[in-house]
């Protein structure tokens, strides 16, 4: 009986196999620009369906990464439904960086966007403060703060984030069609 290929690789395992793997980063373009694995292609999770034909044609292994590993696990599930085998990076780019591995970043002066987690913290904090401030005018506004608190608890319990999904749809977090087309064209030549 042959051993099964692991569905997840740790940072050191992935680093040792980086030359033989095609790396797809499913984070938003802003998150990708904040630092990504060397040679990674940026195909945001919400655009993964467009990439399935190109990913199906790849030779060699496919490693899917995100910030923490949650979105990449979801992406691996989507790819499996389409018959595309993929591995995920345990701990995502955060785990990669914590293990001392190098992240590629855009050249100095290039436009970068805050990481999604930072965007969520800013938005949640701003809405809570607004709810508390407006609550001085009318107590019903405090429900806004309570709704954000409930959303944060739900997010922690389910390991999902509705606010991140909404923020990911903002223009600054969306990939330009040409960037995605370029990534898909490069994938088709691998």
For the stretch 48-66, pLDDT in tens is 998 999 999 888 899 999 9
Taking CA atoms, 99 is separated from 10, 11, 94, 146, 184, in Å, by 9, 7, 9, 37, 29
Residues 69, 26 share a domain = yes
Q: Note the pLDDT of residue 176.
A: 61
The DSSP symbol for 29 reads H
103 with 24, same domain? yes
| Under 8 Å between Cβ of 52 and 96 | no
Measure Cα distances from 91 to 66, 72, 77 in Å. 8, 10, 17
pLDDT at 58: 86
Q: What is the residue range of 27's domain?
A: 8-111+176-188
- Domain-located, residue 1: no
Cα 149 vs. chain centroid, distance in angstroms? 23
Would you say residue 15 lies in a domain? Answer: yes
Residue 3 lies in a domain: no
The predicted structure's pLDDT at residue 180: 72
pLDDT at 4: 41
123 shares a domain with 104: no
d(CA 17, CA 169): 33
Would you say 93 and 35 are in contact if contact means Cβ atoms under 8 Å apart? yes
- 33 found inside a domain: yes
Q: Are 32 and 40 in contact (CB under 8 A)?
A: yes
Give domain status of residue 2, yes or no. Answer: no
- Average pLDDT for the chain: 86
Indicate whether 19 belongs to any domain: yes
Number of structural domains in the chain: 2
Domain annotation covers residue 79: yes
Is the same domain home to 48 and 87?
A: yes
For residues 4-29, give the mean pLDDT.
87
Same domain? For 182 and 131 the reply is: no
């Amino acid at each position: 009986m042959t051993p099964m290929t692991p569905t997840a690789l740790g940072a050191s395992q992935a680093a040792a196999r980086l030359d033989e793997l095609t790396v797809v980063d499913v984070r938003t373009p802003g998150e990708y620009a904040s630092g990504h694995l060397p040679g990674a292609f940026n195909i945001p999770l919400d655009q993964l369906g467009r990439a399935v034909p190109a990913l199906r044609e790849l030779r060699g292994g496919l490693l899917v990464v995100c910030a923490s590993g949650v979105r990449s696990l979801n992406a691996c599930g989507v790819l499996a439904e389409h018959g595309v085998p993929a591995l995920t990076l345990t701990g995502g780019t955060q785990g990669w960086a914590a293990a001392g591995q190098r992240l590629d970043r855009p050249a100095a002066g290039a436009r970068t966007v805050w990481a999604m987690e930072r965007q969520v913290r800013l938005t949640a904090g701003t809405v809570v403060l607004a709810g508390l401030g407006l609550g001085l005018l009318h107590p019903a506004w405090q429900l806004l703060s309570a709704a954000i608190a409930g959303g944060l608890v739900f997010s922690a319990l389910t390991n999902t984030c509705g606010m991140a999904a909404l923020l990911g749809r903002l223009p600054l977090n969306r990939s330009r069609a040409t960037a995605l087309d370029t990534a898909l064209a490069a994938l088709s030549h691998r």
